[in-house]
Structure 1
Amino acid sequence: MPAALCPPRVPLTRPLRNKPPRTLWGAVFALMAGLASSAPAHAAGADCGQLPASVQFEQRTWTEIRDGLACGITTVIIPVGGTEQSGPYIAAGKHNVRVLAQAERIARAVGQTLVAPVMAYVPEGGTKPRTSHMRFAGTLSIPPDVFEKLVLAAAESLRVQGFTLVVLLGDHGGYQTQLQQAADTLNTAWRGTGAKALYVRAYYDVLPHQYADWLKKTGHAGEVGLHAELSDTSLMLAVDPGMVRQKALRAGPPPSAAQGIYGGDPRGASAALGQPGLDMQVQAATKVIEAARAGQP
Structure 2
Amino acid sequence: MRFSISILLVLIFFKSTAQSYELPTVHLEELTFIEVKDALNNGVKSVIIPTGGTEPNGPHMVLGKHNFRVKYLAQEIALKLSDAIVAPTIAYVPEGRIDPLEGWMNLPGTIHLPEKYFMKLIEYAARSFKQHGFKDIILIGDSGGNQNGLKKVSESLNLEWKDTNVRVHYISEYYKSSSISTVLDSLETEGFNPKDFGEHAGLTHTSRLLAINKELLRVDIMETLEYNDWSIDENRRLGYGGNPSQSSVKIGIRLNNAKILDCVDQINKLKDESRK
TM-score, structure 2 normalization: 0.85
- How far apart, CA to CA, are the structure 2 residues paired with 1:159 and 1:77? 12
Question: Residue 88 of structure 1: CA displacement?
Answer: 0.6
Give CA deviations for 1:175-203 in whole Å, capped at 9, x if unaligned.
21221111101101111121000011011
Which is helix-richer, 1 or 2? 1
Please show how residues 63-142 of structure 1 align to structure 2 within 5 Å.
63-142=34-113
Matched letter for residue 215 of structure 1: L
Distance in 2 (alpha carbons) for counterparts of 1:67 and 1:137: 44
Inter-partner Cα distance in structure 1 for 2:121 and 2:225: 39
Q: 1:258 aligns with which of 237, 240, 263?
A: 237
Are residues 1:174 and 2:145 paired?
yes
**SS of residue in 1 equivalent to 2:252:** helix
Structure 1 residue 224 corresponds to structure 2 residue 202 = no
Q: Percent identity?
A: 32
In structure 2, the partner of 1:248 is 221
In structure 1, stretches of 5+ residues that fail to align are: 1-46
* Counterpart residue number, 1:55: 26
**Equivalents in 2 of 1:138, 1:91: separation in Å?**
10
| Cα separation, 2, equivalents of 1:186 and 1:99 | 23
Partner of 1:152: 123
Deviations 1:37-71 (A, max 9, x none): xxxxxxxxxx9656422000111111111111110
CA-atom RMSD, angstroms?
Answer: 1.8
2:265 corresponds to which of 287, 290, 297: 287
Is contact 1:48-1:68 (8 Å) kept?
no
Partner Cα distance (1:211, 1:127) in 2: 37
SS of residue in 1 equivalent to 2:24? coil
- Contact (CA 8 Å) 2:56, 2:109: kept in 1 or not? yes
Q: Deviations over 1:27-46 (max 9, x none)?
A: xxxxxxxxxxxxxxxxxxxx
Query: Partner of 2:255 in structure 1?
Result: 277
2: CA distance, partners of 1:292 / 1:51: 26
Q: Which residue of structure 1 lines up, in the alignment, with residue 168 of structure 2? A: 197
Q: Which has the higher strand share?
A: 2
The DSSP-based 3-state class of the residue aligned with 2:96 is: coil
Deviation of the 1:267 alpha carbon: 1.0
Q: Does structure 1 residue 163 correspond to structure 2 residue 116? A: no
Q: Residues 87, 201 of structure 1: CA spacing in aligned structure 2 closer, same or farther, 3 A cutoff?
A: same
Contact 1:171 1:204 in 2 (8 A): yes
Amino acid aligned to 2:271:
R
Give the letter aligned to residue 224 of structure 2.
Answer: A
Partners of 2:135 and 2:202 in 1: CA distance: 38
